[in-house]
Amino acid sequence: MTAVTEVSAPPAIRELSRRHRLRIAELLPWLIAVACFFVFPDYLALGTQILISTLFALSLDLILGYGGVVTLGQAAFFGVGAYTAGILAVHGWTEPLTGLVAAGLVAAVLGMVTGVILLRTEGLTLLMLTLVVAAMIAEGANKAGAWTGGADGLQGITISPILGLFRFDLFRRTSYVYALVVLFLAWIAVRAIVHSPFGRSLTGIRENVTRMHAIGSPVLGRLVTAYAIAGALSGVAGALLAQTEQFVSLEVLSFGRSGTVVIMLILGGAGRLYGAFVGVPLYMLAQDQLAEQFPIYWSSGIGFLLIAVALGARGGVLDLWDGAVKRLRRR
Amino acid sequence: MSEAALETRGLCKSFGALSVASEIDFRLEAGARHALIGPNGAGKTTFVNLVTGALRPSRGRVLLGGEDVTSLSQARRVKRGLARTFQINALFRGLSVLENVALAIGERRGVAGQLFRPAGRRSGVVEEAYAALERLGIADEASRLVRELPYGRQRLVEIAVALGLEPTVLLLDEPAAGVPGTESGIIVETIESLPKEIAVLIIEHDMDLVFRIAKRITVLVQGSVLVDGTPEEIAADPRVREVYLGEHAVP
């Protein structure tokens, strides 16, 4: 049946029914990530942070890039995940994988509960509400010092070897591979979701919510589901940070973290699955290099980078790339 | 009397002191070709929004096939066979024509919420969407993005998306609005060739189109029904001429 469709179907149908197939270029980020492990053994700490932030930005892409929900509070999920994994570990639950799962579940529940309220609004109201929720949770974590360590941070986290085999080492080899494997699994899940009917209906909501209502789509339910999934993945990213750094500070819940992840995603290109994989390394490597060269003024370098993107590449680096490829083909 | 496909009873809507719909009693019979006309600001689009559930009425009821749907969401009403098009195109501009229709069909078939299965592999949804485009004669444009199409073609996609929902009641909000004269013929032909079992309500300013298609006309003025009748009765009614038709040539 499938074979018949493919040979005789009009091009438009073929195009749609093949869109989910894996292209070779999609494996590129993974080849690079694996190569980095061998080529830059001294930079695995930075590499681990980049992988974790990529997961964070990937989860944001689902809700912001695909669902069109502009949020400035995604750090709420990242932070809640980090504290969940951290607090579990401090209290003796040192097994890392179940710690990740627990963090993801807690963040998903947070997403569902807040999403049901927040996602009834749109535009600036929604933006402000996401900000407010994150700020409230950050303040809650600050006040709950007995659990979170407050402004001193959560200390005394110990994590058992992964699967009882791989000990977290000083050179961050285990951390890097651990983060890479988790990111890879998350990518498989997110990729499946954005190509699924559910994912396409999210795109529909972003493109025209009025029309989605008019074709009988349960818009709120779809958005809440996406918000919870994105929240869960952000929570897992936060938990990875807590487990690999073995320390959690209030920074994980900060406005700065919420804002930076949006910037990194847009820098790469939102709503196209790979924006996170381009924007996050670009931003964090630029930040790392600038901080080394200009220890005082590095943030103005980032500023110039962002101005350039805002003026010349609204669709992010990937969009620039697409444009360049198109121009070359036309020649 | 049999059940009307769509009925409103004493439908009222006001924003503060401003009444935009008052005591609208309206019947759309099964398979009807019915037009709703009225001067600008008469409340035609408000009426559509009340019927579809985009707005909640202040008072009154909306019935679909004899069942009260006043408290149901837009999505639930769609599931009961109510579809609409928009006065100003409301499509997924960044998606292909084919996918615009496929999204609607996916929702109708109840498969649009599936999470871990490629959308392209849904059995039959994409094929059905393509067949719908073929019937409307726009299959050639299937893989183009909606925003790249001329406006008149986009109006056809609006209709294709609504038909993808297999409605029993179809509300066309100014289907020919903004379409250049040379292209409006296609719109009229498309509306004329709609399946007979669908009850069609057209909101329209173009009197040629109204008198060509409608078997029954309701005139709305300042949020209430002025008169309801056959095209001949409406054309002959002096009140209608006074408030509305005076500025138009009546055939």
The mean predicted confidence, pLDDT, of chain A is 93
- Predicted confidence at residue B119, as pLDDT, reads 82
B133 part of a folded domain: yes
- Predicted confidence at residue A297, as pLDDT, reads 86
State the Rg of chain A over Cα.
20
The residue extents of the domains of chain A are: 24-330
B1 part of a folded domain: no
β-bridge mates for residue B34, sequence order = B201, B216
> Closest-CA residue in chain B for A221?
B113
State the Rg of chain B over Cα.
18
What is the tens place of the pLDDT at every residue in A105-126? 999 999 999 999 999 999 999 9
Chain A interface disruption, residue of B52, B76, B97, B103, most A CBs within 10 A:
B103
B64 part of a folded domain: yes
Query: Model confidence at A229, in pLDDT bands (50, 70, 90)?
Result: very high
Domain count, chain B: 1
Q: Considering the entire predicted model, what is its pTM?
A: 0.91
Q: Which residues of A21-37 are buried (b: 16+ CB within 10 A; e: fewer)?
A: eeeeeeeebeeebeebe
Please give the C-alpha separations between residue B162 and each of A145, B108, B153, in angstroms, as whole numbers.
56, 11, 14
Beta carbons within 8 Å of A5's beta carbon, 6+ residues apart: A13, A17, B127
pLDDT > 90 fraction of chain A, expressed in percent and rounded: 81
C-alpha–C-alpha distance, residues B68 and B7, integer Å: 9
What is the tens place of the pLDDT at every residue in A250-288? 999 999 999 999 999 999 999 999 999 999 999 999 999
What is the tens place of the pLDDT at every residue in A284-320? 999 999 999 988 888 888 888 888 888 888 889 999 9
Task: For residue B96, list chain A residues with Cβ-Cβ distance below 8 A.
Answer: 12, 15-16
Asked if B106 and A5 come within 8 Å (Cβ–Cβ), the reply is no
Residue B176 tokens, joined = 């020919």
Sign of the CA dihedral running A91, A95, A96, A102:
negative
Q: Which of A198, A210, A216 sits opposite B90 (nearest CB)?
A: A210
What is the tens place of the pLDDT at every residue in B176-204? 888 887 778 888 899 999 999 999 999 98
Say whether B37 sits in a helix, a strand or coil: strand
Beta carbons within 8 Å of A236's beta carbon, 6+ residues apart: A55, A81, A100, A103, A104, A107, A182, A186
Query: Model confidence at A177, in pLDDT bands (50, 70, 90)?
Result: very high
Nearest to A217 by CA among B56, B104, B49: B104
Task: For residue A9, list chain B residues with Cβ-Cβ distance below 8 A.
Answer: 127
Going by DSSP bridges, is the β-strand pair B216-221/B224-229 parallel, antiparallel, or unpaired? Answer: antiparallel
- Predicted confidence at residue B249, as pLDDT, reads 47
Task: For residue A20, list chain B residues with Cβ-Cβ distance below 8 A.
Answer: 118-121
Say if residues B85 and B43 touch (Cβ distance below 8 Å): no
C-alpha–C-alpha distance, residues A148 and A160, integer Å: 20
pLDDT at A7 exceeding the cut of 60? no
Q: Which of B91, B102, B114 sits opposite A196 (nearest CB)?
A: B114
Asked if A16 and B126 come within 8 Å (Cβ–Cβ), the reply is yes
- Predicted confidence at residue A309, as pLDDT, reads 84
CA distance B175 to chain A (A): 16
B187 part of a folded domain: yes
Domain A24-330: assigned CATH number: 1.10.3470
B83 part of a folded domain: yes
C-alpha–C-alpha distance, residues B202 and A77, integer Å: 48
Say if residues B86 and B173 touch (Cβ distance below 8 Å): yes
Q: Does A298 touch chain B (CB under 8 A)?
A: no
Beta carbons within 8 Å of A175's beta carbon, 6+ residues apart: A44, A45, A48, A168, A244
> Closest-CA residue in chain B for A218?
B75
C-alpha–C-alpha distance, residues B172 and B174, integer Å: 6
- Structural domain harbouring B75: 6-247
What is the tens place of the pLDDT at every residue in A182-216? 999 999 999 999 999 999 999 999 999 999 999 99
What is the tens place of the pLDDT at every residue in A11-57? 888 888 888 899 999 999 999 999 999 999 999 999 999 999 999 99
Residue ranges of chain B whose pLDDT lies below 70: 1, 122-123, 244-251
Q: What is the CATH number of the domain that holds B178?
A: 3.40.50.300
